[in-house]
Every structure is written in structure tokens, then in C-alpha cells.
Structure 1
Amino acid sequence: MSMSEILALLREHLDVVIAIGSALVALVSAFAARTETRRQRRLQTERLRQSIDAASLEWGNHAIDALGRAAMFARTRHLQANDATFAGGKTSLLIGLSALVERGRMFFPNLNADNKGADKDGAYRGHRPPILDAIMWAYFELDAMHREGGPTGDNSAEFIEDCRRLMVSELQAHLDPRRLDKVVERYDDQTQANRRDAIDRATALKARLETRRPGLVLDAPRAPDTQSETMQ
């Protein structure tokens, strides 16, 4: 078929050619639009992650500072001028630690919320994650501490420092840039090995606290993480 015949055929079926061309253009445009939409969604998700990561990092900085001040307070408690000064300083630190736990729930929701505390408000169902446990154990240690007598200030400081180290380690895991899921799931979907290790460490700190401070009423014992066990 010659070129002139081909052109003649195209002119005869011009409407078909236009329709096919329009369909191809529409198909290419739809593909480009879909690709751009996905790209924009990825950018929006990343901006959201960065915003929440910045907020959780700010929370973590306050927690590190509060635990550091609590440890120093324990280490220097015998230098307080009198019992009233000691009580005032301790109360201020306790208020700060308690507030940090409550604010931390915005970033680190309770684990296994469907299996415990169905009668409680939503934020308090399930088990606190280890990162908040660490702050709570430091809170209880500080609350039980006296200006004179009992475990030495240095021992209390060492315990609070161990709580701080666990908190920092968990915060670092939470902020790991390789995790691509949304923030809540990102913490909840840590590798099972890391989760078991963190829970074991938090439980060990709790046991030490109970030994150090007999009679303290702490949370009910943590139920076994059946999901972790099944994935061993």
C-alpha cells in the first residue's frame, strides 16, 4: 500500500483516528495524573511524619531533661536545706514526670488495648508501652524517696538513670527514619525481638522497684505478649 493510499484511508476514517488519538491522550493523562497523585500523597505523608516526629522528639527532650533532674535530685537530696525544701523540690519533679507520661500517650498508645481494661477510658486500656513504663518507675522511686534514711541517694539516682536509658532507647527506636508506617503503628510494629527485650527490661526495673520499695502498689502484672510468643 502506497503512502497516498494510506493517507486516503486515514482521511476516510478521520473520526476513528481522532477517537483513537483522544483515547491515547486520555490514557496517558490519566496515568500521569495517577502518578502525580501518588507522589503528592507520599509527600503529604512524609510531611505529617516529620511533623509528628518533631513533636515526639520535643516530648522526648523534655523527658530526658526531667529524668536527669530527678536523678540529680536523688543524688543530692542530703544537701537540701530542710524537709520542706526537699518536699517542694520532689513535688515539682513528680508533677513534671506525671505530665510527661500523660503527654506521652499522644505518641505511644497502650499495647494490647483490646485485652485489658475494657472498663477504662480509651487512652488507659491495655498496657503502657515500655517507654512510658520507664518514666512511671522513676516516678514511683522518686515518690518513695525521703531526705534521710532508706536507700542512699546514689542508689536512687542509678535506678532513675537506668529508667532514663530505657526511655531513650525506645525513643530512638520510635524515631527510626527507616520505619515507613504511620506513627502509632510504627511504634507498635517494632520487631518482635526488640519488643520482647524492651518489655523484659521494663519488667526487670519494676521488679527492682518492688524490691527496693516494699508495699508500693504498682500496676497489675503484665500479661504475656501472646503475639510475640507465637512469632518466636
Structure 2
Amino acid sequence: MGEFLAAVVSAFVALGGLLVAWRRAREAALRKGEVLAWSNDVIHNMQSLVLICQRRSVPLPPEIEAAKLHDIYFATSVLAEQGRLFFKNERAGDHGIDKPEAFQGRRPDILDQVILAHQIAGAFGGADEEARRRMCCVAEDAARRFVTLAQKEVGRSRTASAATSKGGTGPTLPSLMSGVAPERLR
């Protein structure tokens, strides 16, 4: 009888352990999905800012540029605050000790990139041409840094297909256009 009782208790302990492990795995997967969705929203806004910068030679009409910058300004502010749910500040002595707990310490690097995009979107419209060029360089660097950090957070260590993990050749549009056979041009 004692052996039977021990077996039943062992089975319940094992079942409890499995349930705890399953719940942790599920929560980790859900968090990863939420961070991925948040990251996609950030990338959309940061890349939109970069595209505005890249159109300096053929700029957008001023009213469209202003509207896009306005949207990016508000979206990046919201996204930075949402990001605080995923990424806590790092304690740094007394830095920010007078602020609410979520704002004490130093903001994570991944959120710094979102804040940079927010600041650029807010200042771009009133900036002179040299300041705009500098902001564009910072925006491009911040977007790349964000993607790098987000990929480390939610990215896959290896791809599902060997074909998609192979390095590309980096073709340019002009080189591909020059290689189009004349018979294809109808």
C-alpha cells in the first residue's frame, strides 16, 4: 500500500512539474510573439523615417512629409512606453531615483533607438538642411541598431530552410536591369 501511495504522489509531482514547465514555455512563446509584434511596429515607423530622409534629393510634398513625421512622432512615443513593458531600465546608482520605479535607472539600448526616432521626427520639420542631414544619419544608424537588437531578442538562431540562410549576392537594380535580355522587353 505504501508503494502504491508513493507512486501516486510521484505521478502527481511529475504532472505538476510538467504543468509548470508547459506554462513557462507558453508564457515565453507568448512574450516572444508580443515582442515581435511590437518590434514590427517600431521597424515600420523607424523605416518610414529613414525613407523620408532618403528622399532628400526628391523630397515629399511638404504637407505629406509633415503628416508622416507627425504620425511617426506620436507612434514612436507610444511604442517607447509600450517597450517599457518588455524591457526594464537598468539600475544605475541614484540615476532617476526621483522618478516612478519603471523610469528609474538607465533605459535599455533597444528603447534608446525608439526615443531617437521620436526626437528626430519631432525636430526634423524645423531643422535646417545640415541638421536634417545629420538627423538622417542618426536615424539610419538607430534603425539598424534597433533591428540588430530586436533580432537578438526574437530572432531565430537558425532558419527553417538552408536556402534562406545562404548569403545573397547583393545585386543592384542597375546591374539587374542591364542584364535583362532584349527579347523580354516587349
TM-score, reference length from structure 2: 0.73
Contact in 2 for aligned 1:75/1:153 (Cα 8 Å)? no
2:88 to 88, 109, 128: 109
Residue aligning to 1:79: 59
**Percentage identity across paired residues of the two chains:** 22
Q: Deviations over 1:118-151 (max 9, x none)?
A: 2212221111100000111222233222377332
2:25 to 42, 46, 60: 46
Shift of 1:113: 6.6
Q: Which ranges in structure 2 are unaligned for 5 or more consecutive residues?
A: 158-186
Shift of 1:154: 5.7
RMSD between aligned alpha carbons? 2.5
Please identify, of 111-120 and 35-44, the stretch whose mean Cα deviation from structure 2 is larger. 111-120
Do structure 1's residue 140 and structure 2's residue 123 form an aligned pair? no
Shift of 1:177: 7.1
Residue aligning to 1:25: 4
Q: Which has the larger radius of gyration?
A: 1
SS at match of 1:108: coil
CA shift in 2, pair 1:157/1:142, >3 Å: same
Residue aligning to 2:183: none
Contact in 2 for aligned 1:134/1:163 (Cα 8 Å)? yes
Residue aligning to 2:99: 120
Amino acid across the alignment from 2:149: E
CA shift in 2, pair 1:121/1:148, >3 Å: closer
Amino acid across the alignment from 1:81: P
Residue aligning to 2:35: 56
Residue aligning to 1:34: 13
Q: Deviations over 1:87-137 (max 9, x none)?
A: 333222111111110111111111117742222122211111000001112
CA shift in 2, pair 1:102/1:38, >3 Å: same
Residue aligning to 1:168: 147
TM-score, reference length from structure 1: 0.60
Residue aligning to 2:164: none
Aligned length: 156
Between the aligned partners of 1:145 and 1:163, the Cα distance in structure 2 is 15
Q: Which ranges in structure 1 are unaligned for 5 or more consecutive residues?
A: 1-21, 179-232
Shift of 1:86: 3.6
Contact in 2 for aligned 1:72/1:157 (Cα 8 Å)? no
CA shift in 2, pair 1:148/1:75, >3 Å: farther
Q: Deviations over 1:55-108 (max 9, x none)?
A: 1110000011110001111222562333x5443332221111111101111111
CA shift in 2, pair 1:38/1:148, >3 Å: closer
Amino acid across the alignment from 1:132: L
